Amino acid sequence: MTSIDRDVRQTIDAVYREHSRQVLATLIRLLRDFELAEEALHDAFTAAMAQWPRDGIPANPRAWLVSTGRFRAIDRLRRRARFDSSLAEIAYQLELECSTETVDDTSVADDALRLIFTCCHPALPLDGQVAMTLREVCGLTTEEVARAFLTSPSTLAQRIVRAKAKIRDAGIPYHLPEPDALIERLDGVLRVIYLVFNEGYSASFGDTLIRTDMSCEAIRLGRLLYDLLPEPEVAGLLALMLLQESRRDARTTPTGELILLHEQERTLWNRELIDEGSSLVERALSSRRFGPYALQAAIAAVHAEAPSAEATDWEQIIGLYDVLMRITPSPVVALNRAVAIAMRDGPGVGLSLIDALMAGGELGDYHLAHAARADLYRRQGRLEHARESYRQALSLVQQGPERRFLERRLTELEHG
């Protein structure tokens, strides 16, 4: 390989990293078929490897790849039409469109957004939405996605095949939702991104380090979506993820044990992520069209900006929980609000709030409700009650690091 070849090769690699998802998104729109578009993307890069070293790198590599991929796809359809005559008509139709449709930069941005909304279409099962988003929008391999979700590649491949079949057979469109449906559909997209984030975030306590990649993918998706659709809730979700991510290094010990927020070493928090998250929160809140993600991010930002646990502005946090309760009331939000009130007004007040919530019949099976009660009893010095509540929390907890945390607390009380 000559040094020129090597340079071209490196350029092609860089173009692939930067543009392959955009080229794919445009090809899906032009060809109206996921499989065909994926084959076309592959063909286009194969052609680039053959032609660019000889002819030089085109002025607009992305447009070159789209147009090459498109013609190769039409060729493929023609070859297959010998066995399936219905494809000839499709190939002819696609060829006609070549002369009328051009690919400019605005349509490319819209294509990326279309791809996200199609992959997160609510008519697809949630696990299919997640798999399609990571595979098609983020460009992860089936094996990578399978590893992140602790399933086998064949199970994951099945999910993707089924999702693609449903998109094709049920006529799930490859377009942006109408403006009046956009915000509602956006909720579904945000949910998928946050689910991907949490898969990386909550799994990062030691068990499988590889899964932290999912948090980075989710943040990348959040940035992409915010770029394409700067809605307040998109800013809110991106901010929430950045602020949670900023504490990654502080929230576990080197051996993977959980460290609670008020005991974390705050110098380990990533200031750059906090600053970016906080300014996104401000932008979202000032829009006055913010929702639950922006509010949760705002709460995270108040914590992030407190120089120490003692200096936390609980008044502001309680105010934010009040608003959150008004727009998305839930027992878990009420529990968090009660814990914040306990920080301001003392453990007794918090306990009676939590007891009232639990008397309402919900939260009985929620381990963190019992853990919160245990902590408040501990702070009151009512150690027998605290031990009892930790035991109840332990009987309900699922996750390894949380279990070990509760066990440690219980042991401290039993020996301390």
* 183: contact with other proteins by CB under 8 A: no
Nearer to other proteins, 87 or 309 (CB): 87
Kindly state the smallest distance separating residue 406's Cβ from other proteins, in Å.
42
| Contacts to other proteins from residues 254-313, by CB under 8 A | none
Of the candidate spans 7-15, 21-29, 172-180, 358-366, the one that interacts with other proteins by CB under 8 A turns out to be 172-180
Contact call for residue 169 and other proteins (CB under 8 A): yes
Q: For residues 42 and 80, which CB has a smaller minimum distance to other proteins in the complex?
A: 80
Which residue number, 117 or 201, has a Cβ lying nearer to other proteins? 117
Which one of 175-183, 196-204, 351-359, 381-389 is the stretch in contact with other proteins (CB under 8 A)?
A: 175-183
What's the CA gap between 129 and 32, in Å, rounded? Answer: 18
User: Smallest gap, in angstroms, from Cβ of residue 189 to other proteins?
Assistant: 15
Q: How far is the CB of 165 from other proteins (least distance, A)?
A: 11
Does position 329 interact with other proteins (CB under 8 A)? The reply is no
Report the residue number, 176 or 195, with the smaller CB distance to other proteins.
176
Nearer to other proteins, 170 or 332 (CB): 170
**Burial (0-12, 13-18, 19+ Cβ within 10 Å), 84:** exposed
In terms of Cα–Cα distance, which of 303, 377, 384, 383 is closest to 347?
A: 377
Q: Does 173 bind other proteins (CB under 8 A)?
A: yes
Nearest one of 237, 239, 325, 329 to 282, comparing CA atoms:
239
By CB atoms closer than 10 A (0-12, 13-18, 19+), residue 306 is: middle
**Closer residue to other proteins, CB minimum distance, 50 or 170:** 170
Distance CA 120, CA 378 (A): 45
* Cα distance between residue 339 and residue 345, in whole Å: 10
Residue 327 in tokens: 């727009």
d(C-alpha 177, C-alpha 193), whole Å: 18
Output helix, strand, coil percentages for the chain, rounded to the nearest 5: 75, 0, 25
Half-sphere exposure of 344 (CA within 13 A, CB side): 13
Binding region for other proteins (CB under 8 A) out of 22-30, 163-171, 315-323, 341-349: 163-171
- Among positions 171, 254, 361, 416, the unique one binding other proteins when judged by CB under 8 A: 171
Structure tokens at 143: 């094996």
Q: Per CB under 8 A, does 116 bind other proteins?
A: no
Residues of the shown chain interacting with other proteins in the complex, contacts defined by CB under 8 A: 121, 123, 169-173, 175, 177-178, 181
